[in-house]
Structure 1
Amino acid sequence: MITKPTIDRIMEATDIVEVIGEFVQLKKRGANYIGLSPFANERTPSFTVSPAKGIFKDFSTGKGGSAVTFLMELEKFSYPEALKWLAKKYGIEVEETQTSPENKEAENRRESLMIVSGYAAKFFQDSMWETDEGKAIGLSYFKERGFTTETIKKFELGYSPDQWEAFSAQALKEGYQEEFIVESGLSVKRDNGNLYDRYRGRVMFPIHSYTGRVIAFGGRTLKTDKNVPKYVNSPESEIYHKSNVLYGLNFAKKAIRDEDNCYLVEGYADVISVHQAGIENVVASSGTSLTVEQIKLIGRLTKNVTILYDGDAAGIKASLRGLDLILEEGLNVKVVLFPDGHDPDTYVRLLGSSAFKKYIDDNRKDFILYKTDILLKEAGKDPILRAGVIREVVESIAKIPDSIKASVFIKECSRVMQIDERALLTELNKMRQAKMRKNDQPDSFQTPYEDAPIATEIERTATEADGETQEKEIIRLLLLYGNKMIDWDGITNTYIGPFMIAELSDVEFDHPSCKQFIDIYKSEIDQGKLPDEQYFIHYHEKQVVDLTVDMIATRYMLSENWLDMHSIFVPGEELKLRAAVLGAIFHLKKQKVGKILNKLLADLQTSTSETDQEILQSQYIFMKKVEKKITEYFGTVISK
């Protein structure tokens, strides 16, 4: 358990915009920040971060909470893991009430796999730096590739001894469980039950998660035997899904945001060499065809991707169609082609950092124009082949969601291909219509995320019962105004929170999360404390955090220029706080009384005992009087 003072220090140091900004490209909008949801595929931003409240709210999926909640939702961290990540980021020493057994066993399966992978990374590093075999084979290989000691240590490169059981035997001896050693792919189980090392005799490239933990490995053989695969990669596991991972992203994410561009290469060595040359915004798809999930990872940080290809013409043509996926996700794509026989790794070592950067700047081309040029050269003067090129290029343009950007490419391609622009537009429209028919979707356009007046009441949904809505309104008012002093006629010198709790002492909340919230609020008041919204935003139970964020987050906010532009003053809820608080209390009481009356009526209809009927009738008459009093009081007090 992490101590309460440590948690408080972490929360005080955490800047939610800074934290979420490492994962999502945010833009300031009024007092808040907006961006595309990292949890859903969307083109119009619905993801909002409020630095004043210290919360995020994703309106496309309903997720929301603090920086801790965000890390738990996105990176699947446990609560302690998220706190430790933040502590590391802000240089806070974590105090725990008991020693963590992370070096032996973990609290859950996922963490166990993480720990085993972390141990393996250290084992491979130690094997390379501290053994004669490792230095002679592994370290010398990396040095020959031009990697500096600093780079080798930064990327945690290592070496797996050329022995059948070097790692497996040591891991078992250290107390790591066989189940997790095998599931992580580090070891393979023989038919006789013994383990052997998957990566023996290979140099090791650890693959890190977005937040920097080792989740998998790529092992490269240095042998020339053609029967031995050049690379062996970790199998899929609970912590590693290769389609969701980009090699080097944990090192590149800050530079990608700062440069507003991501360089995409093919292999581990390409990433490391280019990174070492000072171009740190570089990642690789790790030997797999680029996936939509990987593109979305880039799209969180930038809308600009530059592909650094090697000089293999066949490989370039094969990958052209795959790059349409990037266009489809709304990203801007440029391409840089290196001379024959060179890839980013070899070319940066040949030219050096400065000349390599200049080459990229001088030779990058827009993907659509690049594709057009490549295919036209291949088609030559053959009219049929040229017609096919035109169709294929327009297919790529049709995938661009931004209609203005698409029209610009149509105009440019019309010039390059020497074909009438209207003909290209006609073909483009045909393709789009065919796609819509295939998806059975009508023509539609997306409106931009605009400022609007602030919402002051909970939006009712068809699935919410009226009672639940009224209970949630009480929660909302407690969160927003519970620690404000009352200065109303006849009621002064008390806080709104304790006042509302006292007024509702005879009301039983039915909705589970609302009841839990009220019980917590009462408990804090009984201890002489007045909990605020931050107390509940950082509460350790997800159900309470979710309710809190739902109540205080709003998708819309009043423009700062609203009054100047329209000469319209929109009164804030605080100016009518008395009516809002008393109205919420009496509406809830009236709803609860109505519920009791309905039950009494139902019981009267089913009761066969005269005595029971008399008691029920008496109770019914009494509750009708209560309802009348509430209605009368509501009408006179709330309207003042």
Structure 2
Amino acid sequence: MISKSTIDKVYETARLEEVIGDFVQLKKSGSNFKGLSPFTDERSPSFMVSPVKQIWKDFSSGKGGNVVAFLMEHEHFSYPEAIKYLARKYNIEIEETEQSNEQKEQSNERESMYLVSEYAQKYFSEILWEREQGKAIGLSYFKERGFTDETIKKFELGYCLDQWDAFTKAALDKKYQLSYLEKTGLSIVKQDQSNPEKKRTFDRFKGRVMFPIHSMSGRVLGFGGRILTNDKKAAKYLNSPESDIYHKSKVLYGIYFAKQAIAKEDNCYLVEGYTDVIQFYQRGIQNVVASSGTALTSDQIRLINRLTKNITVLFDGDAAGLRASLRGIDLILEQGMNVKVCTFPEGEDPDSFAKNNDYEEVVRYLKENSKDFIQFKASLLMKEAANDPIKRADTVRDIVNSIGKIPDRIKKEIYIQECAQIMNVSESVLFNTLAQIGKKDAAEANKKSKPDQQAFNVVKNEPQQQKVDVQYELERQIIELLLLYGDKDEEFEDLVLKENEKGDLELEPESMEAKVFEKIYLDLQEDEIELTHNLFRDIYYRIMEELNEKENFSINRFIADLDQDLAIEISSILMDEEKYMLHQWERKDIYPKDKKIGISQLVSETILTLRCYLIKKRIGSLQERTLESEGGNSETLEEIMNYIQLNMLLNKKLNRVLS
């Protein structure tokens, strides 16, 4: 575990604008910086960085946070990885806190497996580049595939000598433990039959070219090895076995190299093999990953879903079992993603096509031949069914079953309409079939989402007016005021309810000086108001504690101590006002009012507006009570009248006219 003192030092030292400047071209904009979003493809800047607040906000994607949040979003680091990255950048020594023996054992075992895997990658690369056998066999193979030296080094490709235990011996000589070599699957350990006490070791990837498999953050998890001889008994491709650090179903080959391009292009090309990925990347199309020859899993799809909602699956021109592959795509639809498919000309695969065509030709082909999955599947299967009525009926059910996987009900309706035309079947038949499937899978659908609990209904395009949650907006504004001005001293005009000479109630102003957070706290306490939204309530109490305990309130330090969800929410609240700077209103002679001009007025109006809103809610509930009881209740009616009078007084103070 990284010590608290190290994390504090990282936050104190790291400059947000410097770190983000390594990834995004930033330009000065007033006291802030702006640039093009690194998460979406845009022409006008919507990405804002505040050096004063040490937070950022991307208005095109809605993402935001502090320096660590940026690295976690952009580089897809874990929290510890982001801290370590910043520590390295600013030459900060990382201190580790004491762990329990059990934690140490678990951490040490996993870390030891990572270290063994990273050593293996370096060893295989060294063999490829520096040993005669490596150059003659491994390097020659990669060159024949058309890979450049730069590409081979980029993907850290290598070669395992065609000797029984050359790698294992080298690792043991470097003092790596045999148990970790065995756990990672790099070495196979067997008992010597002639001598049970003796163990024999073998290199799992003997005589194979090596493809390291990286995690999202770039650590080596395992390997894929391709044999180069025509040994029919040996598998053409061999993967590392499952281990504590490598789970085949949760990994995509190339994701580390592709993650930024996928997010930027808002699309992911999905291929089958290692060389498909590498050839595409070398050609200049970097948003590509491979399922490594396995059936696509939900965990793999979730990895892509973190980066984009759009997947284009690329198939070989002569892919056998294309229909079976199409069934696997239903998993992608279930996660609400948009799927396209693209098939290459007969005899071609992504590897050969990218190798034999230049960048512009490949891009043009992908653009012109990528088709919507549902439409592609319907057309393909209807051709296969041709004049066979039974096959046609099965095809209809197959297509409707795929449509049923889509969570979005509007998309379902559109696909039903389009497929009805392709398959020459009436829409009503397809709707009824979808409804039957919906009823059959009701129990399963109920677990996934409420919109799919019922049988499918046609969506009517009726405009729905979005309601504003007034209390949510007011509570959000209270949090913003506390964050921006909580420790500021201001003079407030407090309102006291008094009787005038005629005996009528009036609100009389009384001046008081207090810090903003004290004024807000006292007002909410006096009216026994508690924030209703859990997130805001949590932030509210944390801010109050911080402002009470610490003389100098720092937003950056405050955010550093929060979990990422709270930090992102706070950044979003604070940076919302900055979006107006993106429009350059000054050029149009429009000058937005600075909130600092009337802090006390803003605080008072926010609290008053919340009071009025809660009074109206109270009046409404009391009126409902009088309707439920016959003839009403005199005490309740009197209470209603008092609240109405108070509401009128408060609104008068706010200069509002009530009907």
TM-score by length of 2: 0.65
Shift of 1:411: 2.5
CA distance in 2 between partners of 1:78 and 1:372 (Å): 41
Give a deviation string over 1:45-78, Cα, whole Å, max 9, x none. xxxx9x9773899xxxxx9974536877999967
Give a deviation string over 1:194-235, Cα, whole Å, max 9, x none. 543222221111111122222221111112111111122122
> Is the 2:87–2:93 Cα contact (8 Å) retained in structure 1?
no
- 1:8 equivalent among 5, 8, 12: 12
Matches for 1:244-255 after TM superposition, within 5 Å: 244-255=250-261
Matches for 1:157-168 after TM superposition, within 5 Å: 157-168=157-168
Shift of 1:491: 5.9
Partner of residue 490, structure 2 = 486
Secondary structure, counterpart of 1:135 in structure 2:
helix
> Is the 1:479–1:532 Cα contact (8 Å) retained in structure 2?
no
CA distance in 1 between partners of 2:542 and 2:470 (Å): 31
The count of corresponding residues between Structure 1 and Structure 2 is: 521
Partner of residue 508, structure 1 = none
> Is the 1:452–1:559 Cα contact (8 Å) retained in structure 2?
no
CA distance in 1 between partners of 2:406 and 2:312 (Å): 16
Partner of residue 174, structure 1 = 174
Secondary structure, counterpart of 1:162 in structure 2:
coil
Partner of residue 497, structure 2 = none
Structure 1 unaligned regions, length at least 5: 34-48, 58-62, 460-472, 502-510, 562-569, 582-638
Partner of residue 421, structure 1 = 427
Q: Using a 3 Å threshold, how does the CA distance of structure 1 residues 243 and 168 change in structure 2: closer, same or farther?
A: same
> Is the 1:16–1:66 Cα contact (8 Å) retained in structure 2?
no
- Give the partner amino acid of 1:94: N
Secondary structure, counterpart of 1:301 in structure 2:
coil
Q: Using a 3 Å threshold, how does the CA distance of structure 1 residues 311 and 154 change in structure 2: closer, same or farther?
A: same
> Is the 2:55–2:571 Cα contact (8 Å) retained in structure 1?
no
- Give the partner amino acid of 1:455: Y
- 1:308 equivalent among 301, 307, 314: 314
CA distance in 2 between partners of 1:262 and 1:225 (Å): 35
- Give the partner amino acid of 1:422: S
> Is the 1:25–1:300 Cα contact (8 Å) retained in structure 2?
no
Matches for 1:267-286 after TM superposition, within 5 Å: 267-286=273-292
Partner of residue 84, structure 2 = 84
CA distance in 1 between partners of 2:547 and 2:110 (Å): 34
> Is the 1:372–1:413 Cα contact (8 Å) retained in structure 2?
yes
Q: Using a 3 Å threshold, how does the CA distance of structure 1 residues 520 and 554 change in structure 2: closer, same or farther?
A: closer
Shift of 1:368: 1.7
- Give the partner amino acid of 2:93: E
Matches for 1:143-542 after TM superposition, within 5 Å: 143-191=143-191, 192-193=198-199, 195-436=201-442, 439-440=445-446, 442-443=453-454, 452-453=469-470, 455=472, 479=483, 481-488=485-492, 492=513, 524-525=550-551, 530-539=552-561
Q: Using a 3 Å threshold, how does the CA distance of structure 1 residues 176 and 54 change in structure 2: closer, same or farther?
A: farther
Give a deviation string over 1:424-449, Cα, whole Å, max 9, x none. 22222332333335545643999999
> Is the 2:164–2:202 Cα contact (8 Å) retained in structure 1?
yes
> Is the 1:247–1:285 Cα contact (8 Å) retained in structure 2?
yes
Partner of residue 138, structure 2 = 138
Q: Using a 3 Å threshold, how does the CA distance of structure 1 residues 22 and 136 change in structure 2: closer, same or farther?
A: farther
Secondary structure, counterpart of 1:321 in structure 2:
helix
Shift of 1:285: 0.8
> Is the 1:455–1:557 Cα contact (8 Å) retained in structure 2?
no
Give a deviation string over 1:80-114, Cα, whole Å, max 9, x none. 522233577xxx343327899xxxx9964433333
CA distance in 2 between partners of 1:190 and 1:207 (Å): 26
CA distance in 1 between partners of 2:473 and 2:300 (Å): 39
Give a deviation string over 1:288-322, Cα, whole Å, max 9, x none. 11112222222233332221111335321111111
> Is the 1:207–1:214 Cα contact (8 Å) retained in structure 2?
yes
Secondary structure, counterpart of 2:238 in structure 1:
strand
Shift of 1:387: 1.4
Secondary structure, counterpart of 1:188 in structure 2:
strand
Q: Using a 3 Å threshold, how does the CA distance of structure 1 residues 348 and 394 change in structure 2: closer, same or farther?
A: same
- Give the partner amino acid of 1:8: E
Partner of residue 55, structure 2 = 54
Q: Using a 3 Å threshold, how does the CA distance of structure 1 residues 500 and 169 change in structure 2: closer, same or farther?
A: farther
Q: Using a 3 Å threshold, how does the CA distance of structure 1 residues 73 and 262 change in structure 2: closer, same or farther?
A: closer
Q: Using a 3 Å threshold, how does the CA distance of structure 1 residues 475 and 201 change in structure 2: closer, same or farther?
A: same
Partner of residue 609, structure 1 = none
Secondary structure, counterpart of 2:396 in structure 1:
helix
- Does 1:94 find its partner at 2:76? no
CA distance in 1 between partners of 2:259 and 2:77 (Å): 19
Q: Which moved more, 1:381-390 or 1:255-264?
A: 255-264
Give a deviation string over 1:350-384, Cα, whole Å, max 9, x none. 34444333333333222222212222222221111
- Percent identity reads 43
Structure 2 unaligned regions, length at least 5: 25-35, 98-104, 192-197, 494-510, 522-536, 581-594, 608-652, 655-659
Secondary structure, counterpart of 2:235 in structure 1:
coil
Give a deviation string over 1:471-507, Cα, whole Å, max 9, x none. xx99998655443223347765x85579999xxxxxx
Shift of 1:165: 2.9
Secondary structure, counterpart of 1:147 in structure 2:
coil
TM-score by length of 1: 0.67
Give a deviation string over 1:560-618, Cα, whole Å, max 9, x none. 99xxxxxxxx9x9964647999xxxxxxxxxxxxxxxxxxxxxxxxxxxxxxxxxxxxx
Q: Using a 3 Å threshold, how does the CA distance of structure 1 residues 552 and 229 change in structure 2: closer, same or farther?
A: closer
